[in-house]
Amino acid sequence: MTPTAAKTLRATVASVPGALSLAVFLVICATALAAPILGLPDPADMAFALYQPPSAEHWLGTDNFGRDILSRVVWGAQVALTVAVGAALLSILIGSALGAIAGYFGGWVDGLLSRVFDIFLLIPTFFLILLIVALFGASLPLTIVAIALTTWPRSARLMRSQVLTLKSRVYVQAALAAGAPHWWVIVRHVIPNGIAPIITDGTILMGMAILTEAGLSFLGLGDQNLVSWGSMIFEGQRHLRLAPWMSIAPGVALLLLVASLNLLGDSINFAMNPQLRTRGGAPKRRATTAPPAGETAPAADTPILEVDDLRLVYHAGARRIAAVDGVSFTLPRGGSLGIVGESGCGKSSLGSALLQTMPNNAELTSGTIRFDGRAIVLGGKPVVENGRSRIDALRWTRMATIFQSAMNALNPVTTVRRQMMDALRLHKPGISREEATARIAEVFAMIGIPASRMNAYPHQLSGGMRQRAMIALSLILEPELVIADEPTTALDMLIQDQILGEIADLRERLNLSLILVSHDMGAVAESCDVVAVMYAGRIVEIAPTQRIFGNPAHPYTRTLIGALPSLTGPLEELESLPATDTAAAAAATGCRFAHACPAATDLCRRAAPPAVPLGAGHVSECHYAEDFAAEPSSEPHAAPAAAKEARA
Amino acid sequence: MRLLRYFLFRLLQMFPIALFIVVINFALIHLAPGDVSILLAGEGADPEYMQSIRESYGLDRPLHEQLGAYLGQILQGDLGLSFRTREPVIDIIAERIPATLLLAGTALVLASIAGVAIGAVMARRPGSALDTAVTTLSISLFSIPVFWLGLMLILLFAVTLRWLPSSGMVSIAGPREGLGFVLDVVRHMILPVTALAAVWLGQYVRLSRASVSETLAEPYVTTARAIGFPERRVMTRFALRNAMLPIVTVLGLELGLLLSGAVLTETVFSWPGLGRLIYEAILSRDTPVIMGAFLIMSFTVMLAALLTDLLYAALDPRVRL
Ligand code: SF4
């Protein structure tokens, strides 16, 4: 057994339904195999005791011919399992082979086969099987073949999509380059790697096969020479009033076997994709807190946003991942802050914490967030005032967000105008249709979306236009603070620059405060006064934009802006650091960056660096911050421009 | 306009499938053991009738001409004669369709509405104990052989408790019109509809649970929450609305499965629909009726697939030619 298979099995058995269904299935298999040695009466033996209810002698009673029902149920298990295994195997065999061929060769072969798969999906298979069996005579092997012949497209479709993703994998390409013949590559590399979901589906297939055979037998199309549960129920039906036990027992057996197979398939599926079980969901109810005493009214110079020692933890099974690990910053009214870091550094988690839109497995363990001087989060708990959480009162009217529209941030089945209308009317219930329409048109004009595109659905807009629509949506209620999370990712360079320019422009015109979350130093250089660099859940350096490009005081910042490429190797390596690595870094003692830092010393590995203030709002968490700060990056003043060019 | 074009396009696509099904039917009769004319006319049919069958199907001519003749017949709606009653198969089937529609339609509507609602509620608390219990229960529900569930319902409610009739669609001496008739039919429907709907309910709960929890993890749902829409509205306007797309697709694709359940249920309850007809045809080895029923079922499923496609296209603005 391969390690992944063993792991899947363990995870399957770990769930109650998984363990239970596997146990039931194994017991039924064992009973069926042991049927000859259980000392039961011959299932065909006709005793004189007809219609006996369950008794000590006949545990499940006898039927209209005086045959022992327990014995018939046990032997019936053999038939059911034969049908299940036979039909599923044959179906998977045919399906995987054809699916692999379709996916592997593509082109017209794929076109033709896919068409055939589709046709089979539309054929009512039960009736086709019924017709075949009715025409050719009822026999178990024929039933098995008929079931396989009508169900194989299930496996074929699964295998085809598996192969399509596998085809481009390195080892497949390598085998081909080494001159291996196609059939060999398919048999040796493609099918074994793509088979997992098909085997999961196999349990469902087995259940279907059993029910199909039972249904046929119940209609009188069962194999006359064998004891099948379906035909037992078929016979029992006629004696329902006189001897109900005749039909109860085989039905219970059917239910147990099929349910255990279906539950098993379901549990394996969840074991392989654990997120299926817990993702989504409505936001869970979290503990709240009352507003703090002695809050003063906001003054003109009160910062729009103050964040203090914010900590956010994800629960993944028994693991706790500290995605935001003590972050503090202050954003003055009208200011703009860029938060930069590689994926997995916690910047997006920070964004979701500010907006209180974290997923259910995330939790704020500490920290205070103040909006315009009033606490909206206190000690990690949302502040509730007069029965309403304060953040809800700020949503979209004072604090809005720009998501990455390429990622389905707009509702795909609603026009953009309608989405803006809904947001507007939600927060201004009294607004008239005309006013609302006028406001939407105004915002569209401001963002540069042609009025003709107002009634478009998101998918009908180009990438840039769709992102503009998202920006328009965020500005519809004239918020004071906008949090933009990767607003230009997945757009092409030219459009990225345009949109960043527009955001910077709007910010000045509307006196917006802005937080821009990005993985891209160049993107924040253009539109932010202050830049914070995040690594493994902490802000490792924060400084005014010119400063951070001119005198980066943290080695990680230097890697990000590409000022030290020769020391750490290409930047891509850093960007591709998996999130778990940053999590491990966060858990380590000493400096989080020490494992990748070219300047790391013993001190770094032993003690976490303090936050070193370098003046003018410049702070760096590095033992040698002062030394680095003293040493300007290669081209101090041209740096932001250089970074921008480097991106292009 | 968009929908009309799409509909016509899909309609065109259905022709090869219909042809394929007819050809399968044709191939099966010719591959089956025994003389085709006996299959079609019935054993012990008088020679004269046998001869007329040979002529109308062109059984003395080469195969491709026979196929042509067969296709021509089907295009005219001629599915042959039942050899039991000598009536045209198409008439016999048409007579039975309303009863099946009533039974399957009622069960479908009840099961899908309840299933989607339950599934959506479960999707709000994924992984909770209740969710696991409901998932397990719904899997068990659709693992029940529907005909057996029907028998058990009869045993409990008709035989033991005597609350409801066990078979048929109307009482023998019951009223034939007015409210009394409707109530009588409803009383007869309760058990078969329950059996059928219970099994389908399991499917729909699973389907809607999976599909709604998927949409709840989508970014546009996060956007909706950030905008401040109340959770109810997020659920209906954003999550359910988008979740309906896969639900509708699967509903359409599984109709064949559903019809087979209906056939088995009708058999148990002696419901005078298509299923009962197929059962009787099997017992009397009335091949033309079985073949005709397969064709009609296939075309029904295709039609339903077409309608679901159309519904999908109406729900999802992204669908285009
Ligand atoms: S403290 Fe040491 S390891 Fe950490 S960034 Fe500074 S020099 Fe590198």
pLDDT in tens, B59-97: 777 777 888 888 888 888 777 788 777 788 889 899 888
Residue B321 has pLDDT above 70, yes or no: no
Please judge whether A409 and B219 are an interchain contact, meaning their C-beta atoms are less than 8 angstroms apart: yes
Residue type at B155? Answer: L
Mean pLDDT of B163-180: 78
What pLDDT, on a 0 to 100 scale, did the predictor assign at position A258? 93
Residue type at A382? Answer: P
Give yes or no: residues B217 and B283 share one domain: yes
Q: Are strands A374-378 and A538-544 parallel, antiparallel or unpaired?
A: unpaired
Contact list in B for residue A135 (CB cut-off 8 A) is 28-29, 32, 39, 287, 290
Give, in order, the Cα–Cα distances in Å from A298 to each of A35, A160, A301, A336, A374.
82, 62, 8, 19, 8
Lowest mean pLDDT among A367-381, A573-587, B28-42: A573-587
What pLDDT, on a 0 to 100 scale, did the predictor assign at position A171? 74
For residues B160 and A580, the model is more confident at B160
Q: What is the 3-state secondary structure (H, E, C) of A367-398?
A: EEEEECCEEEEECCEEEEECCEEHHHHHECCC
**Tally of CB atoms within 10 A around B62:** 9
Collapsing DSSP to helix, strand or coil, A53 comes out as coil
Give yes or no: residues B71 and B95 share one domain: no
Question: Computed from CA positions of residues B234, B236, B242, B247, in that sequence, does the dihedral angle turn out positive or negative?
Answer: positive
Lowest mean pLDDT among A101-105, A183-187, A371-375: A183-187
**Tally of CB atoms within 10 A around A188:** 14
Give yes or no: residues B253 and B310 share one domain: yes
Cα distance between residue A375 and residue B217, in whole Å: 29
What pLDDT, on a 0 to 100 scale, did the predictor assign at position A644? 46
What pLDDT, on a 0 to 100 scale, did the predictor assign at position B69? 81
Domain ranges of chain A: 15-273, 302-398+479-568+575-648
Residues 6+ apart with CB under 8 A from A372: A298, A302, A304, A333, A398, A480
What pLDDT, on a 0 to 100 scale, did the predictor assign at position A643? 47
Cα distance between residue A440 and residue A477, in whole Å: 10
Mean pLDDT of A321-336: 91
For testing contact with chain B, the best of A15, A123, A261, A475 (most B CBs within 10 A):
A123
Cα distance between residue A58 and residue A102, in whole Å: 54
Question: Computed from CA positions of residues A56, A61, A64, A67, in that sequence, does the dihedral angle turn out positive or negative?
Answer: negative
Cβ contact A340:A522 at 8 Å: no
How far apart are the CA of B230 and the nearest CA of chain A, in angstroms? 9
Residue B311 lies in a domain: yes
> A404, exposed or middle or buried, with CB in 10 Å at 0-12, 13-18, 19+?
buried
Q: Which residue bears the tokens 């590409």?
A: A562
Cα distance between residue B169 and residue A31, in whole Å: 42
- Among A490, A481, A563, which residue's Cα sits nearest to residue A521? A563
What pLDDT, on a 0 to 100 scale, did the predictor assign at position A2? 63
What pLDDT, on a 0 to 100 scale, did the predictor assign at position A185? 78
CA of A555 to the centre of ligand 1 (A): 7
What pLDDT, on a 0 to 100 scale, did the predictor assign at position B193? 94
Cβ contact B238:B64 at 8 Å: no
For residues B214 and A41, the model is more confident at B214
* Domain boundary pick from B27, B51, B75: B75
Residue A1 has pLDDT above 60, yes or no: no
For chain B, what is the domain count? 2
What pLDDT, on a 0 to 100 scale, did the predictor assign at position A638? 40
Percentage of chain A beyond pLDDT 70 is 92
**What is the average pLDDT score of chain B?**
85
Question: Computed from CA positions of residues A544, A545, A549, A553, in that sequence, does the dihedral angle turn out positive or negative?
Answer: positive
Q: Does B86 touch chain A (CB under 8 A)?
A: no
Cα distance between residue A598 and residue A600, in whole Å: 6
Cα distance between residue A113 and residue A100, in whole Å: 10
**Tally of CB atoms within 10 A around A496:** 23
Give yes or no: residues B69 and B96 share one domain: no
Give yes or no: residues B262 and B291 share one domain: yes
What values do phi and psi take at A310, rounded to 5?
-80, 130
pLDDT band at A637 (very low <50, low <70, confident <90, very high): very low
Cβ contact A385:A438 at 8 Å: no
For residues A471 and B53, the model is more confident at A471
Please give the angle made by the CA atoms of B29, A231 and A243, to the nearest 5 degrees: 145
Cα distance between residue A92 and residue A98, in whole Å: 10
Lowest mean pLDDT among A488-502, A615-629, B129-143: A488-502
Cβ contact A583:A598 at 8 Å: no
Residue A636 has pLDDT above 50, yes or no: no
Q: Which residue of B has its CA nearest to A117?
A: B17
Counting ligand 1 atoms within 8 A of each CB, the residue from A593, A603, A606, A626 with the most, and so the one to mutate, is A593
Give yes or no: residues B151 and B275 share one domain: yes
Counting ligand 1 atoms within 8 A of each CB, the residue from A533, A601, A628 with the most, and so the one to mutate, is A601
Give yes or no: residues B113 and B215 share one domain: yes
How far apart are the CA of B84 and the nearest CA of chain A, in angstroms? 16
What pLDDT, on a 0 to 100 scale, did the predictor assign at position B287? 84
**Ligand 1, atom 6: closest residue by C-alpha:** A622
Residue range A107-147, pLDDT digits in tens: 888 888 888 888 887 888 888 888 888 888 888 999 999 99
Q: Measured between CB atoms, which of A280, A395, A410 is closest to B123?
A: A280
Residue B316 has pLDDT above 50, yes or no: yes
- Among A264, A192, A253, A191, which residue's Cα sits nearest to residue A227? A253
Q: Which two tokens stand for residue A74?
A: 């046990």
Residue B81 lies in a domain: no
Residue range A241-252, pLDDT digits in tens: 878 888 888 899
Cα distance between residue A503 and residue A474, in whole Å: 12
Lowest mean pLDDT among A23-32, A211-220, A271-280, A388-397: A271-280
Same fold, A15-273 and A302-398+479-568+575-648: no
What pLDDT, on a 0 to 100 scale, did the predictor assign at position A539? 93
pLDDT band at A517 (very low <50, low <70, confident <90, very high): very high
Please judge whether B318 and A357 are an interchain contact, meaning their C-beta atoms are less than 8 angstroms apart: no
Residue B303 has pLDDT above 50, yes or no: yes
What would the CATH number be for the domain defined by A15-273? 1.10.3720.10
Residue A534 has pLDDT above 90, yes or no: yes
Residue B231 lies in a domain: yes
Please judge whether B222 and A409 are an interchain contact, meaning their C-beta atoms are less than 8 angstroms apart: yes
pLDDT band at A564 (very low <50, low <70, confident <90, very high): very low
Residue B285 lies in a domain: yes
Contact list in B for residue A248 (CB cut-off 8 A) is 152, 155
Residue A441 has pLDDT above 60, yes or no: yes
Residue B83 lies in a domain: no
- Among A500, A506, A493, which residue's Cα sits nearest to residue A525? A500
Cα distance between residue A78 and residue A295, in whole Å: 76
Mean pLDDT of A67-80: 85
Collapsing DSSP to helix, strand or coil, A315 comes out as strand
Residues with CB under 6 A from ligand 1: A 554-555, 591, 593-594, 597, 599-600, 604, 609, 622-624
Cβ contact A474:A404 at 8 Å: no
What pLDDT, on a 0 to 100 scale, did the predictor assign at position A37? 80
Q: Which one of A138-152, A166-180, A487-501 scores highest in mean pLDDT?
A: A138-152
Please judge whether B301 and A124 are an interchain contact, meaning their C-beta atoms are less than 8 angstroms apart: yes
CA of A609 to the centre of ligand 1 (A): 7
What pLDDT, on a 0 to 100 scale, did the predictor assign at position A291? 87
Lowest mean pLDDT among A27-31, A59-63, B214-218, B307-311: A59-63
**What is the average pLDDT score of chain A?**
84
Mean pLDDT of A501-517: 89
CA of A573 to the centre of ligand 1 (A): 18
Q: Which residue of B has its CA nearest to A477?
A: B227
pLDDT band at A563 (very low <50, low <70, confident <90, very high): very low
pTM: 0.84
What pLDDT, on a 0 to 100 scale, did the predictor assign at position A306? 93
What pLDDT, on a 0 to 100 scale, did the predictor assign at position B198? 93
Q: How far is CA B95 from the centre of its chain?
A: 17
* Domain boundary pick from B14, B45, B75: B75
Q: What is the 3-state secondary structure (H, E, C) of B70-92?
A: HHHHHHCCCCCECCCCCCEHHHH
Please give the angle made by the CA atoms of A468, A474 and A476, to the nearest 5 degrees: 100
For residues A579 and A129, the model is more confident at A129
pLDDT band at B261 (very low <50, low <70, confident <90, very high): confident
Residue type at A297? Answer: A
**Which residues sit opposite B100 in a β-bridge?**
none
- The torsion defined by the Cα of A490, A501, A633 and A603, in degrees rounded to 10, comes to -60
Residue B212 has pLDDT above 70, yes or no: yes
Percentage of chain A beyond pLDDT 90 is 28
What pLDDT, on a 0 to 100 scale, did the predictor assign at position A587? 59
Q: Which two tokens stand for residue A79?
A: 């038939």
The radius of gyration computed from the CA coordinates of chain A, to the nearest angstrom, equals: 33
Give yes or no: residues B57 and B142 share one domain: no
How far apart are the CA of A283 and the nearest CA of chain B, in angstroms? 8
Please judge whether B151 and A404 are an interchain contact, meaning their C-beta atoms are less than 8 angstroms apart: no
Collapsing DSSP to helix, strand or coil, B146 comes out as helix
Residue A81 has pLDDT above 60, yes or no: yes
Cα distance between residue A624 and residue B77, in whole Å: 89
Q: Which one of A83-87, A102-106, B256-260 scores highest in mean pLDDT?
A: A83-87
**Tally of CB atoms within 10 A around A366:** 15
Number of H helices, E strands in chain B: 14, 0
Cα distance between residue B196 and residue B192, in whole Å: 6
What pLDDT, on a 0 to 100 scale, did the predictor assign at position B115? 94
Q: Are strands A336-340 and A530-535 parallel, antiparallel or unpaired?
A: parallel
DSSP conformational letter for B158: I
Cα distance between residue B154 and residue A170, in whole Å: 60
Residue range A173-228, pLDDT digits in tens: 777 777 778 777 777 777 777 777 888 888 989 999 999 999 999 988 888 888 88
Residues 6+ apart with CB under 8 A from B83: B40, B41, B42, B45, B286, B287, B288
Residue B80 lies in a domain: no
Residue A426 has pLDDT above 90, yes or no: yes
For A302-398+479-568+575-648, which CATH class? alpha beta
Contact list in B for residue A237 (CB cut-off 8 A) is 151, 268
How far apart are the CA of B175 and the nearest CA of chain A, in angstroms? 27
What residue numbers bound the domain in which B165 lies? 89-320
Q: Which residue bears the tokens 């119940």?
A: A218
Cβ contact A554:A622 at 8 Å: yes
pLDDT band at B16 (very low <50, low <70, confident <90, very high): confident
Please judge whether A215 and B301 are an interchain contact, meaning their C-beta atoms are less than 8 angstroms apart: no
Residue B195 has pLDDT above 90, yes or no: yes
